[in-house]
Chains A and B, each alone.
Chain A
Amino acid sequence: MKDEALLAHMDSIIARYPKSRSAIMPLLHLVQASEGFVTPEGVELVAKKLDLATAEVAAVATFYSQYKRRPVGDYHVGVCTNTLCAVMGGDAIFAGLKDHLGIGNDERTSDGKVSLEHIECNAACDYAPVIMVNWEFFDNQTVESAKELVDQLRSGNPPAPTRGPNTLPTWKENSAVLAGISDGRAHEGVQAGPATLAGLEIAHERGES
Chain B
Amino acid sequence: MTLTNNEVATSVEMITLTIDGFEVAVPKGTLIIRAAEMLGIQVPRFCDHPLLDPVGACRQCLVDVEINGRAFPKPQASCTMPVENGMVVKTQLTSPVAAKAQQGVMELLLINHPLDCPVCDKGGECPLQNQAMSTGRGESRFTGVKRTFPKPINISSQVLLDRERCVLCARCTRFSDQISGDPFITLNERGALQQVGIYEKEPFESYFSGNTIQICPVGALTGAAYRFRSRPFDLVSTPSVCEHCASGCALRTDVRRGVVLRRLAGDDAEVNEEWNCDKGRWAFQYATSKNRLTTPLVRVDGRLVPTSWPDALATAAAMLEGKRSAVLTGGRLTVEDAYAYQKFARTVLGTNDIDFRARSASEEERAFLGQIAGTSTSNADIDAAGHVVLVAFEPEEESPIVFLRLRRNVLSHNLTVSTVAPFRSAGSKKLNATVIKGDEIAALSGVQLDAHSVILVGERAARTPGLYSAVLEASKKSGAKVGWVPRRAGERGALEAGALGNLLPGGRPVSDPSARVDLASAWDSSTLPAEIGRTSDEIIMAASEGTLISLVVAGVDIDDLPVDARAALQKAFVVSFEIRESSVTEFADVVFPVAAVVEKSGTFVNWEGRARSFDRVLDDVSKFSDARVLSMLAKEMNRPLGFGGTASAGKELHALGPWDGARVSAPTAGPKSVDQGGNAQLISWRMLLDLGSLQEDEPHLAGTARKAIARISAGTAQKYGISSAIKISGEAGVITLPVEITEMQDDLVWVPENSIDSQIRTLGKSGRVTIGAAS
Residues of A within 8 A of B (CB): 40, 43-44, 52-59, 62-63
Q: Kindly state the separation between the CA atoms of A43 and B188 in the bound complex, as whole angstroms.
A: 14
Q: Kindly state the separation between the CA atoms of A53 and B177 in the bound complex, as whole angstroms.
A: 11
Question: Cβ of B198 < 8 Å from any Cβ of A?
Answer: yes
Residues of chain B within 8 A of A52, CB atoms compared:
183
A-contacting residues, B184-206, CB 8 Å: 184-190, 197-202
The smallest beta-carbon distance between B184 and chain A, in angstroms, is 5
Number of interface residues of B (CB under 8 A): 15
Is B189 in contact with A55, judged by CB distance below 8 angstroms?
no
The smallest beta-carbon distance between A106 and chain B, in angstroms, is 14
The smallest beta-carbon distance between B433 and chain A, in angstroms, is 15
Is B188 in contact with A56, judged by CB distance below 8 angstroms?
no
Q: Smallest CB-CB separation from A63: which chain B residue?
A: B190
New A-B pairs, 5, CB < 8 Å, besides A52-B183, A55-B198, A58-B188: A43-B199, A53-B182, A53-B184, A54-B202, A63-B190
Residues of chain A within 8 A of B183, CB atoms compared:
52-53, 55-56
Q: How many A-B residue pairs have CB under 8 A?
A: 38
Residues of chain B within 8 A of A62, CB atoms compared:
188-190
Is A59 in contact with B186, judged by CB distance below 8 angstroms?
yes
The smallest beta-carbon distance between A105 and chain B, in angstroms, is 15
Residues of B within 8 A of A (CB): 182-190, 197-202
Q: Kindly state the separation between the CA atoms of A43 and B197 in the bound complex, as whole angstroms.
A: 15
Q: Smallest CB-CB separation from A58: which chain B residue?
A: B199
A53 is contacted by which of B187, B188, B190, B199 (Cβ under 8 Å)? Answer: B199
Name the residue among A57, A59, A63 with the largest chain B CB count within 10 angstroms.
Answer: A59
Q: Kindly state the separation between the CA atoms of A56 and B184 in the bound complex, as whole angstroms.
A: 7
The smallest beta-carbon distance between B750 and chain A, in angstroms, is 21
Q: Smallest CB-CB separation from B187: which chain A residue?
A: A59
Residues of chain B within 8 A of A44, CB atoms compared:
201
Q: Smallest CB-CB separation from A53: which chain B residue?
A: B183
The 7 closest A-B pairs by CB, nearest first: A59-B186, A54-B199, A55-B199, A62-B188, A55-B186, A58-B199, A53-B183
Residues of chain A within 8 A of B186, CB atoms compared:
53, 55-56, 58-59
* Pairs across A and B, CB under 8 Å, 5 listed: A40-B200, A44-B201, A55-B199, A56-B183, A57-B199
B201 is contacted by which of A40, A56, A57, A59 (Cβ under 8 Å)? Answer: A40
Residues of chain A within 8 A of B187, CB atoms compared:
59
Q: Smallest CB-CB separation from B204: which chain A residue?
A: A55
Known: A40-B201, A43-B199. A55 touches B185 (CB 8 A): yes
Residues of chain B within 8 A of A59, CB atoms compared:
186-188
Q: Smallest CB-CB separation from B186: which chain A residue?
A: A59
The smallest beta-carbon distance between B28 and chain A, in angstroms, is 32
Q: Smallest CB-CB separation from B429: which chain A residue?
A: A51
Is A53 in contact with B202, judged by CB distance below 8 angstroms?
yes
Residues of chain A within 8 A of B198, CB atoms compared:
55
Q: Smallest CB-CB separation from A64: which chain B residue?
A: B190
The smallest beta-carbon distance between B181 and chain A, in angstroms, is 10
Q: Kindly state the separation between the CA atoms of A202 and B589 in the bound complex, as whole angstroms.
A: 108
Is A63 in contact with B199, judged by CB distance below 8 angstroms?
no
Q: Kindly state the separation between the CA atoms of A54 and B203 in the bound complex, as whole angstroms.
A: 10
Residues of chain B within 8 A of A54, CB atoms compared:
199, 201-202
Is A55 in contact with B184, judged by CB distance below 8 angstroms?
yes
Q: Kindly state the separation between the CA atoms of A40 and B199 in the bound complex, as whole angstroms.
A: 9
The smallest beta-carbon distance between A70 and chain B, in angstroms, is 15
Residues of chain B within 8 A of A53, CB atoms compared:
182-184, 186, 199, 202
Q: Kindly state the separation between the CA atoms of A57 and B188 in the bound complex, as whole angstroms.
A: 10
Q: Smallest CB-CB separation from A59: which chain B residue?
A: B186
Q: Kindly state the separation between the CA atoms of A199 and B200 in the bound complex, as whole angstroms.
A: 53
Q: Kindly state the separation between the CA atoms of A195 and B185 in the bound complex, as whole angstroms.
A: 48
Is B190 in contact with A55, judged by CB distance below 8 angstroms?
no
Q: Kindly state the separation between the CA atoms of A57 and B183 in the bound complex, as whole angstroms.
A: 10
Q: Kindly state the separation between the CA atoms of A59 and B187 in the bound complex, as whole angstroms.
A: 6
Residues of chain B within 8 A of A57, CB atoms compared:
199
Residues of chain A within 8 A of B189, CB atoms compared:
62-63
